[in-house]
Structure 1
């Protein structure tokens, strides 16, 4: 079967690109339609196999924008081909987009026989992609409205999942929920969120932070509300505050190649290789520009997803990238002014529960990019890396799965984690107060017993009864259980339909 559009360009020019989710394939159909995991193309509208520019224009019209492929393919097509097509249709939407991008990627100016007339066109279709206000090119009357710029740009498609999450207004609901709480309960909820966000962010990295590390990380989370812009110095300071090993403290973005590894030894265990150090620094400059602008231009959670996953895929430090990437979600939301009164959405708590989905989102990019690296084992702990692809694969990436995951975790953090903690605190207060009014039990012991009972399904275990048998009367255990069961029943009645 003959490929078309991006699939043909990818195959025929042997380009470096993440496999297409819906490759266009010429099939015996009468109209464009989705069949399985392909876009079926009628033979009548498919360009000839050797018409590379025709396939570019086909792709721009029917498949959207894939900058990874376009950045490599457009310079390979002679300028004369563009100029002939332009002469035939000087105001054509897709030839203008192609000419604009070719000039941007090559620096070679194309000759216009007639100036472009009419209104500006947007490079990314706002009905298909999430876009932001961009720079306008007056020669081609094209506006670059992508999530980034032509040095580094993510794409986020308006999938049904992302559209539903946008309509859900997660951040608005979070603000309303916190504002509905009494001030004391609000403080307790926020303190819980900071503590558990810290604990679970480290836990995802299989680390247990010391008390000092926890305190410093919580302090950083609170400082995010000061809306400090991202700079290299600021990120270095954040990295220094989050890593456990003093030998891993960074002084700048990395100057050596790093990698991620799984359980296997040697080259076979390398699961992802981020961009080379020089490219890493360039991409970080672009990502920081985006991070300092985008949260005020697009939905903050979309920006947060691009920034967080973009950061961890660039991997600018030798250690601490994962924790910082999750911190950057919070930082982006604060920069947008979306979280007030010190509010924090404990997304790391939700991600810890969904580690498999977290890994799957990362692997949509990391797994195929690993194939573009030759990794050779030299000695124990020493590997040699050679990139045999094109840097465009790192510059332009599809962030759709990562943004969908980020938004889903923010929704989970609000509707499950925070609400469950509020229900627990309310139940704790009710049981503690009821027991304290009736019995004279030492406060610390009562607090421990109530906590243990509520976390054990409303039962004071035999072990706890034995532990406190000489300081707490037996009837107190039974009373704690009875009140706890009443609290659980009342909470179930609130959420279960009649």
Structure 2
């Protein structure tokens, strides 16, 4: 079998780029097109009825036809291409759709003009096919190639999200509307007061969860600063200055930044052996010299998506938040900024919603899925990176090759699926659970308060005891409770609380007692 498209180009230009999920091969013995398993990936087999052209420029077109535009491949290829040959190839059929796409891609990604005269006529065509990719509704027209650049990003940073069947279905979901609809299922007991108290608790939980993901134990002051930042998400223009100000709010004083990082950075952990410790490096950020341009590209991408207003808000939030965490622009605080950005973008796109969906709490409970999602980009990238730690200089990382295109042009398709899943989990568990707990607590407390004249702090304590024990009062605590209320009232209270707990369990599959015990 002979490699086709990106597999061919990888071999021809000796790129050693990570293979795609589906590789394409030509089999002169195959009668029909087919997809076969190839270990953890797949191979698309092209039959003998199709022609095979042993030419890198023809194979660039085959790559686009069969596997779409993979910007990181083309960025690497164009560093090695013979521009005279490429110009001659395009000149041969300058009006061809794929030649024009190839022509535009080269000049856009390299900033170098090919020896090809401008087109004087012909319809404009989109760079990315809207059927397969999320794109800008109103792209920029390039008169020279008559291509509409509808990419969501810029040359400096341009992620892609493919329109898989799963994502097309997810993209129809408005997570805020879903959350609001589920809240209404609670019934007449749902009130503005309960929603407000739930939101206040969830803001605090989101703050705590976000720091726990980083395996940190921050000071109370630091937690309060991050809580304030989360509550104010969406109220400010997303700029470099805002990101630096945010970083200053959420890190210790000694780590406060005045600019993006100027040094190489890595994420790792220490593995302790019997008589020495070793550094396990999980991820290395792009070279510091590229951070400014990548972050400008990220913020320009955000502006593109805000103005265009075509891509679903949660996909927009995924692109910007994960873009930041892979660029890793700060020496400290990148993870918390990453999760803050999800809320910030969602609030900017849908400012009418005044409640939070605590995604960090869901991520914390699904840490392995989160790590796997991050690994979808970090592992191939790390396999390509030539690096070492300088043991004589505080284990600073040294990067020996420059693969900036792997950071500039990520595919966030898998990340979008993950964020939608975490949002759905946050709605179904964290948000609804907290509301159901408050409804149960308030209903039981109302009964007690109407029939007993005791201090509020004791009321709360008695109700908490009952809920945590499934609605009944334990023998150990019965004596304490009967000091304040009658046996008859306790019986009524137990009956009411048990009924409330059972109703919530039947309607929402939520165990209120377990929740109370975790408080």
Same fold (TM over 0.5): yes
CA gap 1:478/1:214 in 2 versus in 1, 3 angstroms:
farther
CA distance in 2, matches of 1:106, 1:323: 34
Cα deviation per residue 1:27-53 (whole Å; 9 max; x = unaligned)? 34334432221222224536444x111
Return 5+ residue gaps in structure 2 as ranges.
510-519
CA gap 1:82/1:219 in 2 versus in 1, 3 angstroms:
same
Contact 2:388 2:397 in 1 (8 A): yes
Aligned to 1:354: 366
Query: Is 1:145 equivalent to 2:150 in the alignment?
Result: yes
Residues matched between the structures, number: 492
Contact 1:222 1:342 in 2 (8 A): no
Aligned to 1:260: 267
Aligned to 2:512: none
Candidates 384, 398, 407, aligned match of 1:394:
407
CA distance in 1, matches of 2:148, 2:32: 30
Q: Which structure 2 residues correspond to residues 281-300 of structure 1 after superposition, within 5 A?
A: 281-295=292-306, 296-300=309-313
CA distance in 2, matches of 1:65, 1:267: 40
Greater mean alpha carbon deviation, residues 175-184 or residues 428-437: 175-184
Aligned to 1:368: 380
Aligned to 2:166: 161
Q: CA RMSD in A?
A: 2.6
Aligned to 1:332: 345
CA distance in 2, matches of 1:440, 1:310: 57
TM-score (norm 1): 0.91
Give the deviation of 1:449 after TM superposition: 3.1
Query: Is 1:240 equivalent to 2:243 in the alignment?
Result: no
CA gap 1:480/1:86 in 2 versus in 1, 3 angstroms:
same
Contact 1:201 1:348 in 2 (8 A): yes
Aligned to 2:290: 279
Secondary structure of 1:376's counterpart equals strand
Contact 1:87 1:114 in 2 (8 A): no
Aligned to 2:35: 34
Contact 2:266 2:397 in 1 (8 A): no
CA distance in 1, matches of 2:14, 2:470: 60
CA gap 1:23/1:449 in 2 versus in 1, 3 angstroms:
farther
Cα deviation per residue 1:223-273 (whole Å; 9 max; x = unaligned)? 2242x1222221111111112x32112121111111000342677501110
Contact 1:4 1:46 in 2 (8 A): no
Aligned to 2:354: 342
Query: Is 1:192 equivalent to 2:204 in the alignment?
Result: no
Secondary structure of 1:262's counterpart equals strand
CA distance in 2, matches of 1:379, 1:140: 52
Contact 1:199 1:208 in 2 (8 A): no
Q: Which structure 2 residues correspond to residues 179-218 of structure 1 after superposition, within 5 A?
A: 182-218=191-227
Aligned to 1:6: 6
Return 5+ residue gaps in structure 1 as ranges.
none
Contact 1:225 1:342 in 2 (8 A): no
Secondary structure of 1:152's counterpart equals coil
CA distance in 1, matches of 2:497, 2:412: 45
Give the deviation of 1:375 after TM superposition: 1.6
Cα deviation per residue 1:186-209 (whole Å; 9 max; x = unaligned)? 312321221211111111112244
Contact 1:152 1:283 in 2 (8 A): yes
CA gap 1:34/1:339 in 2 versus in 1, 3 angstroms:
farther
Contact 2:153 2:304 in 1 (8 A): no
CA distance in 1, matches of 2:104, 2:409: 17
CA distance in 2, matches of 1:185, 1:441: 23
Cα deviation per residue 1:93-116 (whole Å; 9 max; x = unaligned)? 111100111122333323446836
Greater mean alpha carbon deviation, residues 307-316 or residues 142-151: 142-151
Give the deviation of 1:220 after TM superposition: 1.5
CA distance in 2, matches of 1:293, 1:460: 59
TM-score (norm 2): 0.87
Aligned to 2:446: 433
Secondary structure of 2:387's counterpart equals strand
CA gap 1:105/1:366 in 2 versus in 1, 3 angstroms:
same
Contact 2:287 2:399 in 1 (8 A): no
Aligned to 2:67: 63
Aligned to 2:258: 251
Query: Is 1:21 equivalent to 2:21 in the alignment?
Result: yes
